[in-house]
Amino acid sequence: MSFRPFLALVLALTLALTLGAQPPRGMVVSQERLASEAGAEVLREGGSAVDAAVATAFALAVVHPAAGNLGGGGFLLSRPTRGQASFIDFREVAPASAHPRMWLKADGTYDEAKHHDSLASVGVPGTVAGLREAWRREGRLPWARLVEPAIRLAREGFVLSENQAASLAEQLPAFARHAPTLAQFSRKGSPLRAGDRLVQRDLARTLRRLAKDWTDFYRGRTAALIARDMAANGGPITAADLRGYRPVRREPLGGTYRGFELLAAPPPSSGGQVLIESLNLLEGFDLKAAGPGSPAAVHLAAEALRRAFADRAQFLGDPAFNPGIPLDRLLSKAHAAELRATIQPDRASVSDPARFSWELDRPHTTHLSVLDREGSAVSLTYTLEESYGLKRIVPGAGFLLNNELGDFNAVPGLTDATGRIGTPPNLARPGQRPLSSMCPVILVKDGSVLMVSGSPGGRTIPATVLATVLNVVDFGMDARAAVDAPRIHHQWLPDRIQVEATLPAATQEALKKMGHALKDVPKQGCAQVILVRHGQAEGAADTLRWSDSGAVGE
């Protein structure tokens, strides 16, 4: 070989090795591409993963009103390259007037409408305070810079996609019950269509106030608008409730699965407990040999989820009101071994609302994942509870209220086969945070972030996130395949496996023969995943289940 070709080969190999040693480029994955672009632009300017998450979350409050929000709450899990992992709990809290029997009628029967569709279902919002707290700890760029894209999108508007227009049109009858909501999300009562521009001027004004002073939401003009609406319409939230709201910094739950380190959400989210406990159970089975989507793999995953959700119902709640939650035991490998011994390899167990032992034989949320060029990661899930929350705009403020108190147990002492839970840990009390299923998660391998995942979907969230983890760790899938694969869910009660229609028919028939009841659904969740492979970040937005989702790199 002559010297010149040899030199070129050496230079090419050196460049390849150098590029391979570089940290993965930054990536933002969320349920709306416009929001992902807002976050990615922050990364390009040298912002941290938290900066990008904050910008993306504020933008989602504009372009994804079904779940992106100022009037809700959630959880932010951060794993910086340098320093300790942290978890910001900005879940909504019950107002001072809350009590366990607040959704019962005078005759003692349950009032579902009051629990889910009235101002009595609104929790004190935490999103603004939570995003600010995360930024205070790990932000680099100015706060106002992070809110600016959301202001622009609200003030100038954005063009509605087919998905967005259909989603708004579907909610039009509910919006019609409240004139300010109908005015914001329709054209004089008629549906907006794909290609129309949605402008939200009141929301833009609120965002401008928050860019200057975030406390406006809790003590200023915005707080006054919330309190006035509540007072005028018999709502429970007062100015004092708003002033008293505080996010909480908690220690993330930690676990391991087949040599990978897991960081997940602690209570008042049950997502981390269900995920880690399920993985601990499944660690004792050879899922790889069974194969993805096989009857054996689905059966074992369902049985693991069944047991983890039963523990959730018995023990989980806001730790401030339930100081004795036995997390160490629930997340231990020994507990998993005990439960694993109760799983029959070819027969479904039976969920009994009268007991939590085992014999030996609604909702709409959104998630975003961020990885910056230094390898720091954020997994953020937040929600209004149901799609568009209470379907009620705060007049003059332009944002929707949550109906998050619907996550409290409905009737004290009543747990039944329909899935209604009445166990004590999650009953409403003043200042308590309702139990959640949100499950932001970060996987670490050899000291570096391997995977960031999360999803909306109510109680199905841990199962969706579990599927993405199993698809990567056990089945060796890339990010795209891990997100697109069929999903299942079991939550103890009601006693059935929810399956996406794409799960093979042969698998479904085999599960029925094992004794499982099945419920087919067209789709489950909307996972947003970042996976680091070969030194590069793969972003997989769940376009199969929400086509507007987007993964945007630096």
Contact 300, 290 (CB under 8 A): yes
* pLDDT at position 481: 98
Other Cβ atoms less than 10 A from the Cβ of 477: the count is 19
Q: What are the residue boundaries of the structural domains of the chain, listed by start?
A: 27-157+199-249+365-426, 251-364+436-553
Tokens of 505: 């028919």
* pLDDT at position 25: 85
For residue 52, CA distances in Å to 143, 149, 151 come to: 11, 11, 15
DSSP string, 244-305: T---EEEPPEEEEETTEEEEEPPTTB-HHHHHHHHHHHHTTS-HHHH-TT-HHHHHHHHHHH
* pLDDT at position 357: 61
486 residue type, one letter: P
Class of domain 251-364+436-553: mainly alpha
Q: How far apart are CA 220 and CA 242, in angstroms?
A: 10
Q: What are the phi and psi torsion angles at 30 (to 5°)?
A: -150, 180
Other Cβ atoms less than 10 A from the Cβ of 233: the count is 12
Q: Tokens 């910086």 label which residue?
A: 80
Closest by CA to 202, choosing from 70, 394, 396, is 396
pLDDT tens sequence for the chain (554 residues): 443 444 334 333 333 333 344 545 899 999 999 999 999 999 999 999 999 999 999 999 999 999 999 999 999 999 999 999 999 999 999 999 999 999 999 999 999 999 999 999 999 999 999 999 999 999 999 999 999 999 999 999 999 999 999 999 999 999 999 999 999 999 999 999 999 999 999 999 999 999 999 999 999 999 999 999 999 999 999 999 999 999 999 999 999 999 999 999 999 999 999 999 999 999 999 999 999 999 999 999 999 999 999 999 999 999 999 999 999 999 999 999 999 999 999 999 999 887 776 554 444 799 999 999 999 999 999 999 999 999 999 999 999 999 999 999 988 987 777 777 888 999 999 999 999 999 999 999 999 999 999 999 999 999 999 999 999 999 999 999 999 999 999 999 999 999 999 999 999 999 999 999 999 999 999 999 999 999 999 999 999 999 999 999 99
- Rg of the chain over Cα atoms, rounded to whole angstroms, equals 23
Q: How far apart are CA 352 and CA 416, in angstroms?
A: 8
Q: Tokens 């579990």 label which residue?
A: 466
Residues annotated catalytic, as ranges: 365
* pLDDT at position 522: 96
For residue 133, CA distances in Å to 54, 130, 268 come to: 10, 5, 18
Contact 538, 531 (CB under 8 A): yes
- Is the link from the previous residue into 522 a cis peptide, with omega within 30 of 0? no
* pLDDT at position 413: 86
Q: How far apart are CA 385 and CA 58, in angstroms?
A: 17
Other Cβ atoms less than 10 A from the Cβ of 486: the count is 17
Closest by CA to 541, choosing from 17, 21, 85, 40, is 40
Q: How far apart are CA 381 and CA 426, in angstroms?
A: 20
For residue 127, CA distances in Å to 60, 105, 381 come to: 12, 31, 10
Q: How far apart are CA 479 and CA 319, in angstroms?
A: 34
Q: Tokens 């939401």 label which residue?
A: 217
| Length in residues, the chain | 554
For residue 241, CA distances in Å to 115, 124, 206, 208, 318 come to: 19, 7, 20, 23, 18
* pLDDT at position 136: 98
Closest by CA to 455, choosing from 367, 524, 548, 531, is 367
